């Protein structure tokens, strides 16, 4: 099925550990995004990409890095996890202006 | 910072009733979008309305946009228990890069 796939779905990390979240889309979308969702705060943009090989900072980029080496994949990295990064992470993609976004099912991350 | 604020934060109705959710935003927009999120799941795109449109329909959904008041409303007619979810409005600004900025959402509970 076409869409956005996120892996893993759940993860528990210890403070200071690192990990990478993978997002893959098969719709040939140019734009990809990483959001985090915390209770009562809606979704906040972490990083985004306008195309293969490009990345840019969003609203809450500190503590995260991203890479888009292939058009269909957008990776989110946590170099040294902190409890404040406990959240649900969503990846999304779109063709561009005037189109809705397609979201993945999310990754629930707990940092202890 | 969040762009939009939804009102009410929570809404409880009976099946068959209509549900109305409102969204206010701060800046000039290119388009406004509404999303649904079922508990523990990703976001699903419902409808997009452009800044030069005033009303749009999709099935049981009706969206209005008043750019002079910087506000939008989502009406769900003849609600069903399956409509129980959180609903988010999100805006794409008229300038700069295309990115969705979300409000904090309305939690809708439809009781049988």
Q: What angle do CA B24, B26, B30 make, to 5 degrees?
A: 90
CB–CB of A48/A96 below 8 Å? no
Indicate the pLDDT class of residue A14, thresholds 50, 70 and 90: very high
For an interface test with B, the pick among A9, A90, A99, A101 (most B C-beta atoms closer than 10 Å) comes out as: A101
> Rounded to whole angstroms, how far apart are CA atoms A111 and A5?
22
> Rounded to whole angstroms, how far apart are CA atoms B86 and A56?
29
> Rounded to whole angstroms, how far apart are CA atoms A91 and A33?
6
Residue of B2, B7, B31, B3 lying closest to B87 (CA atoms)? B7
**With an 8 Å Cβ cutoff, is A106 touching chain B?**
yes
Query: Which residues in chain B (22-81) have CB-CB distances under 8 A to chain A?
Result: 30-31, 33, 35, 41-45, 48, 50
Q: Which residue has the higher pLDDT, B1 or B86?
A: B86
pLDDT digits (tens, 9 = 90+) for B13-62: 999 999 999 999 998 999 999 999 998 889 999 999 999 999 999 999 99
Q: Which of A48, A99, A105 sits opposite B99 (nearest CB)?
A: A48
pLDDT digits (tens, 9 = 90+) for A62-108: 999 999 999 999 999 999 999 999 999 999 999 987 899 999 999 99
Query: Does position B3 have pLDDT exceeding 70, yes or no?
Result: no
A&B contacts, CB < 8 Å: 64
């Amino acid at each position: 099925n076409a869409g956005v796939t996120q892996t893993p779905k759940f993860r528990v990390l210890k403070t200071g550990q690192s990990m990478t979240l993978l997002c893959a889309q098969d719709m040939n979308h140019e734009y990809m995004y990483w959001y985090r969702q915390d209770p009562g705060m809606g979704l906040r943009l972490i990083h985004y990409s306008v195309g293969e090989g490009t990345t840019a900072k969003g609203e809450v980029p500190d503590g995260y890095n991203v890479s888009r080496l292939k058009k269909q994949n957008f990776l989110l990295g946590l170099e040294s996890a902190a409890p404040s990064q406990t959240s649900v992470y969503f990846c999304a993609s779109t063709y561009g202006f005037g189109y809705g976004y397609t979201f993945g099912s999310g990754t629930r991350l707990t940092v202890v | 910072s969040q762009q939009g604020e939804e009102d009410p934060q929570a809404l409880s109705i009976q099946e068959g009733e209509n549900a109305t959710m409102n969204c206010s935003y701060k800046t000039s927009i290119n388009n406004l979008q509404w999303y649904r999120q079922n508990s523990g799941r990703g976001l699903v795109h419902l409808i997009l309305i452009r800044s030069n449109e005033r009303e749009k329909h999709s099935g049981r959904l009706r969206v209005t946009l008043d750019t002079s008041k910087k506000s939008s409303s989502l009406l769900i007619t003849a609600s069903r228990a399956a409509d129980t979810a959180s609903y988010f409005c999100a805006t794409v600004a008229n300038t700069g890069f295309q990115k969705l900025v979300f409000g904090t959402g309305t939690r809708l509970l439809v009781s049988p």
